[in-house]
Structure 1
């Protein structure tokens, strides 16, 4: 579990193909450096969010660490597009003493989104993004949380019909996340706020459990009550 508050920006210094017999396919081992500040309490097996993707530390030494990336992860995230010299957002998993300044982030990327435009607004920038999986837009709401490359951001606008959403990066955030350096056409990892998905599953499950020979019984009662109230009003 993470907060979406990026602790530091690391640099990819090596990418090595993993043995298919160990990775289940053409996986990759990443070596990420320039991140000594988050390795002071590191242990092999710890989780670190790399561009919003929860990866396991396999080795670490001084200012760098290694993490394996499975083929499925490469397909679902932008980690497969990294190269030597690429910058990545990094965050350690939360501890019992962590202050939750962002929101609950799992490090499980739902989809990637393409940056459609970057528009200056004073000293801030508005990013318009189009997700690869448009069905996920039903969880994206104005003023709600969303995670882009591991950074917890607030949604400023959503257009379900045209298939895009917007976020704003203030000056402070621009200096601390890799997203600020990206341009139209680049991709970012997206994790939807898990609360929306949990609520949807609970509501759907409740309605399904109250179904009787057609529409959910609870909806029938609500509609019936509204009709009765309207008729009573008209008869007065």
Structure 2
């Protein structure tokens, strides 16, 4: 679990599509440098979010660490586009007893979003983004939470029909995350608020009722039947 409060920015040393070393596991791997700030208590197997993606540390030094990247992760995120020297947002998994400054972030990227507009506003910046999967729009609401490249941000405007949303980034945040290094057309990792997903799952299960007719009618059907019976008795 993460909070979306980026601890530091690192940079890509290498993205290896096929890493045959013991730490690479014969799959894709990422090696990140400039991470000394978050590696003082690091252990093999720990979780670190890179651009909001929860990944497992397979090797580390005082300043660098390596993680494996699964094919599913590459298909859903912008990690496969990272090149040597690219900046990345870094956050360790949340430790018990620490102040919670952002929102509940799992580090499980839902999709990417394309930056379609960047508009300065005094010392802040507006970003307008279009999500690659319109099915995510029900979970993106005005004044709700969203994690973008692992940064906890507040949604401003939303267009469900056109699958876009906006956020405004204050001056302080601009100096502590990688978003200002991006340009129109770049992709950003997006994780929507997981609480909305859980609410939908529970509500849908209740409204749909049992999965088979043998188990009885759905919750809605039962309510309708009660109303009919009540009115028929008048």
The two structures have a TM-score, normalised by structure 2, of 0.88
Q: Is the 8 A contact 2:112 2:131 kept in 1?
A: yes
Deviation of the 1:18 alpha carbon: 2.6
Q: Is the 8 A contact 1:118 1:127 kept in 2?
A: yes
- Structure 1 position 100 matched with structure 2 position 104: no
The aligned runs of 1:23-42 (5 Å cut-off) are 27-42=27-42
- Structure 1 position 115 matched with structure 2 position 119: no
- Cα distance in 2 for partners of 1:183, 1:6 equals 20
- Cα distance in 2 for partners of 1:44, 1:213 equals 51
Match of 1:90 in 2: 90
Deviation of the 1:19 alpha carbon: 5.1
**How many residues were matched structurally?**
224
Match of 1:166 in 2: 166
- Cα distance in 2 for partners of 1:153, 1:214 equals 38
Deviation of the 1:221 alpha carbon: 7.8
Match of 1:231 in 2: none
Inter-CA distance 171–219: structure 2 relative to 1 (3 Å threshold)? farther
Match of 1:217 in 2: 221
- Cα distance in 1 for partners of 2:163, 2:220 equals 30
- Cα distance in 2 for partners of 1:92, 1:45 equals 12
Deviations 1:85-104 (A, max 9, x none): 00000000001122111001
Question: Which runs of no fewer than 5 residues in structure 2 stay unpaired?
Answer: none
Q: Which moved more, 1:52-61 or 1:206-215?
A: 206-215
The two structures have a TM-score, normalised by structure 1, of 0.88
SS for the counterpart of 1:18 is strand
Deviations 1:92-121 (A, max 9, x none): 000112211100100000000000101111
Question: Which runs of no fewer than 5 residues in structure 1 stay unpaired?
Answer: 229-236
Deviations 1:121-143 (A, max 9, x none): 11111100000001100110000
RMSD of aligned alpha carbons: 2.4
Match of 1:186 in 2: 186
Deviation of the 1:220 alpha carbon: 3.5
Deviation of the 1:181 alpha carbon: 1.6
Deviations 1:47-100 (A, max 9, x none): 000000000000110111111111221111000000000000000000112211
- Cα distance in 2 for partners of 1:185, 1:164 equals 14
